[in-house]
A and B are shown apart, each in its own frame.
Chain A
């Protein structure tokens, strides 16, 4: 029954896609990515140099995986989920295809970042991801009004009551766990231990809820809240803090005492991608230092391209160095791959926090 109904569906969708594919041509690169990762000027240069055309769809981690899952890895030729979200979904849904490392200019990457990402995205001996853009999440503070906040748990203190915001997503759970002196990454392999940690975090977040103005959903929402002064301290991405810093020098990104959380967004090939050559061309093209610097200027985050720092805007470099003294860089906690099944534990916690009064 299931195969019959989905068979009909596949046939209908297949017809629609076939009609579409004829007009699209073979060297159209359908790129599923984040805002700022494919700036218009870079696309123009790429199209002029290679003759491929690029169609960009903007998304986020969860939506990327949900989209690829819905089509079993079709509809896009190149996607950019974070490195910790590749191995789990690949094992569970099989939505990516292995990367042929011989087609990638490996010297253009920062070696440590490339090897770490390859190790984290290896499933069954095959590599599924190479690094592109990296960054951290930590605290965005209005130092004039919330200078006392040094770690995530300080968001629950009375001085900032009612003027605090964070996302109700997994980075918040992980960040609070570290700030409370626990190590959730070490418990990734042990569901019982992880559940115990999450229960403590849940209690803390429920207790903290009256302090929170609202849980922000998207970057623009957070920008609005902080710019208007309605929120003075928030958990956020580094780029958000740097952008706000450009408008108001009091606001800045601060790496929390327990360590900022580091993420790396990657390149992966969806299982049913139809333009692998164009995808490899794009990867090699954007990893050139000058091009990577353009992406850094647009997205605000640094890339895994070796030597791109030299070409980056000085103001951004200065903000980066102010937020990350060398010891804070060493203290960055990089996300290990999320084992399948942990999302269910976290999901229950997040739902209960949201429902708490």
Chain B
């Protein structure tokens, strides 16, 4: 009996272990080994940290990373600000069928691939696009307006892409909030603001934190949206990694960049958790 449960445990664990080791751990070890290789001459490599040094010595790379990180944090905040009222409405105010319909409405854009969604934004924002023509037709602009190829366009794309990943955890946590608690808050003389601050937000914190982590990581690792909507000023860290691997044939530097992205983004998430007094255990549990 005892041996049977143990066997079952091992069998159940095997897919997970295979997944982790074959698809995540082994490739990462291999990539780390590539990243500490320095090309000295044709087909001659030496072990060194030169690739990591390059990142810290060339201001461009560091600046690009900081820019990517700051934009991603901003995108996360904007997503949270938009998604919170939406989630609150879905979880608390809408009832029955309406609730399900609203939730599906949030989901529907994700039936379409990210590429198509981004193209949609390009059609709307470009100089000869829908918004530009609409403004001219309404007499608000006297010549075509270019709204594509700038940071605002990237931001719109990022927020739109990650909206669902904020709404889902928020709806889940807000649904578990007992209406009676909110009523009690009002009965005890609270107003809308104090109830929100003292009751709703503390209750929703695990949802806010886990949603923010997911959205931040997705934005930081996004390649398509910044490249397509950002145009000539897009420079995003993932784009640097792509060009090192594919365009420059410089796998060594690309691998080092990949590792730095992993480390620095983990560091930022950890820092944010510390800053807001959360632990990963509370959030996930």
Contacts and interface: CB of A to CB of B under 8 A. Distances in A.
B250 A66 contact: no
A204 to B, nearest CB: 15
Contacts of B240: 351
Contacts of A217: 227
A62 B247 contact: yes
B149 A214 contact: yes
A69 B26 contact: no
Given A343-B250, A352-B60, A9 B149 contact: no
Contact of A344 (B246, B248, B251): B248
B232 A230 contact: no
A51 interface: no
Nearest to A216: B231
Contacts of B279: none
A354 B30 contact: no
A132 interface: no
A357 to B, nearest CB: 8
A212 B231 CA distance: 10
A91 B42 contact: yes
B77 interface: no
Nearest to B149: A214
B247 A169 contact: yes
Residue of B126, B233, B235, B247 with most partner-chain A CB within 10 A: B247
A214 B231 contact: yes
A351 B65 CA distance: 13
Interface in B230-271: 231-235, 240, 243-251
Nearest to B37: A2
A66 B246 contact: yes
Given A8-B26, A230-B128, A343 B248 contact: yes
A198 to B, nearest CB: 14
A141 interface: no
A92 B45 CA distance: 11
B20 interface: no
A340 interface: yes
A144 interface: no
A66 B245 contact: yes
B229 to A, nearest CB: 10
Contacts of B245: 66
A214 B30 contact: no
Interface band, chain B: 35 or more
A192 interface: no
B238 to A, nearest CB: 14
A351 B58 CA distance: 11
Nearest to A340: B42
Interface in B45-61: 58, 60-61
B246 A62 contact: yes
B94 to A, nearest CB: 41
Interface string B144-168: 0010110000000000000000000
Contacts of A2: 30, 33
Contacts of A357: 233
B26 A354 contact: no
A89 B249 contact: yes
A2 B248 CA distance: 23
A162 to B, nearest CB: 8
A350 B64 CA distance: 14
Interface in A207-264: 209, 212-215, 217, 228-230
B38 interface: no
Interface string A53-83: 0000000001101100100000000000000
B60 A355 contact: yes
B97 interface: no
B127 A230 contact: yes
A12 B26 CA distance: 12
B232 A212 contact: yes
Contacts of A102: none
Contacts of B128: 228-230
B29 interface: yes
A209 B232 contact: yes
A5 interface: yes
Contacts of B227: 217
Contacts of B243: 347, 350-351
B63 interface: yes
Pairs A-B, 9 closest by C-beta atoms: A214-B231, A347-B248, A228-B128, A2-B33, A66-B246, A62-B247, A214-B149, A230-B127, A214-B232
17 contacts: A1-B33, A8-B26, A12-B22, A63-B246, A66-B246, A92-B43, A92-B249, A215-B232, A217-B227, A230-B126, A230-B128, A343-B247, A343-B249, A344-B248, A352-B60, A354-B232, A355-B235
Given A347-B247, A354-B232, 12 more contacts: A2-B30, A5-B30, A8-B26, A63-B246, A69-B249, A91-B43, A230-B128, A340-B42, A343-B247, A347-B248, A351-B243, A354-B235
Interface of A: 1-2, 5-6, 8-9, 12, 62-63, 65-66, 69, 89, 91-94, 169, 209, 212-215, 217, 228-230, 340, 343-344, 347-348, 350-352, 354-355, 357
